[in-house]
Amino acid sequence: MCSGIRTSGRKLYTTILLVAFTAFLSVMPFSGPLYAGKTDEKKKVERESNEELKKLMEEIDKHYKAAQERMGYYALSSSDWDTLLKAGKVITKLSDRVLKEFVPPDDKEYLKLMKEMKKRSAEIYKAANEKYVGAYEDIQYSFGRLRNSCKNCHNHLGIQLYTNLYPGGTPPK
Ligand code: HEC
């Protein structure tokens, strides 16, 4: 009798273990995806903010290139002046957005170079707006400084864009 109880006790114990183990096995496949889902979400948030910055950069690049086409000494048409004015204005505005939304809090170099970008594009805007004698020379000077800020920040961050920014050029050593 005693051994009978012990046997059924052991059976019950084994059954409980089996049920628990089966339950564990059936839940396990979900724990992986659940966990992965969480990390994916985190990565997605990071990628989204980069996507936004990427779009800003593309917009900056568009105006940068339009201005670059007006570099070199030749008679500027009023639409050339407008292009320079707009480039200065848009890049200043977008620099401000980057300053407010995207500067990594611990990166002083990034901050410095983004402020430089804003300063130089604002100079371009001012000169193109006032069109004083020598304004175009000032624009060319500021544009050179502006270009340096692009290069220095991309260098600082290890972003290789030279094929994009300077077609046919090789990265400076
Ligand atoms: C202070 C930092 C900084 C400055 C200044 C800067 N950039 Fe960028 N740039 C970045 C970062 C960061 C990225 C990468 C964005 C991403 O894809 O996450 C980038 C990416 C780009 C890209 C690639 C976008 C793409 O499609 O992947 C272009 C083009 C670009 N920048 C152009 C410019 C131009 C033109 C200037 C100057 C007028 C400039 N950048 C100035 C930080 C900077």
Q: For ligand 1, atom 41, name the residue with the nearest CA.
A: 150
Q: Rounded distance, CA 105 to CA 98, Å?
A: 12
- For the domain spanning 49-165, the CATH number is 1.20.120
Question: For residues 75-105, b (16+ Cβ closer than 10 Å) or e, as one string?
Answer: ebeeebbebbbbbbbbbbebbeebeeeebee
Helix, coil or strand: residue 47: helix
Residue 24 has what pLDDT?
Answer: 61
For every one of its 173 residues, what pLDDT tens digit does the chain have, with 9 covering 90 and above?
A: 455 556 567 777 777 777 776 666 665 555 544 445 455 555 555 545 589 999 999 999 999 999 999 998 778 999 999 999 999 999 999 999 999 999 999 999 999 999 999 999 999 999 999 999 999 999 999 999 999 999 999 999 988 775 555 556 555 55
Q: Rounded distance, CA 107 to CA 128, Å?
A: 32
Per-domain boundaries in the chain: 49-165
Ligand 1 centroid–CA 62 distance in Å is: 11
* Helices and strands, number each (H, E), in the chain: 5, 0
Half-sphere exposure of 6 (CA within 13 A, CB side): 3
Is the CB of 159 within 6 Å of ligand 1? yes
Q: Rounded distance, CA 90 to CA 146, Å?
A: 13
Ligand 1 centroid–CA 21 distance in Å is: 53
Residue 166 has what pLDDT?
Answer: 58
First-to-last C-alpha distance (Å) of the chain: 90
Residue 32 has what pLDDT?
Answer: 47
Dihedrals phi, psi of 170, to nearest 5 degrees: -110, 150
Residue 88 has what pLDDT?
Answer: 98
Q: Rounded distance, CA 169 to CA 150, Å?
A: 15
Residue 9 has what pLDDT?
Answer: 73
Is the CB of 163 within 6 Å of ligand 1? no
Q: For ligand 1, atom 15, name the residue with the nearest CA.
A: 54
Phi-psi category of residue 71: left, alpha or beta, with phi > 0 → left and psi -120 to 50 → alpha: beta
Ligand 1 centroid–CA 57 distance in Å is: 5
Is the CB of 143 within 6 Å of ligand 1? no
CB 90 within 8 A of CB 97: no
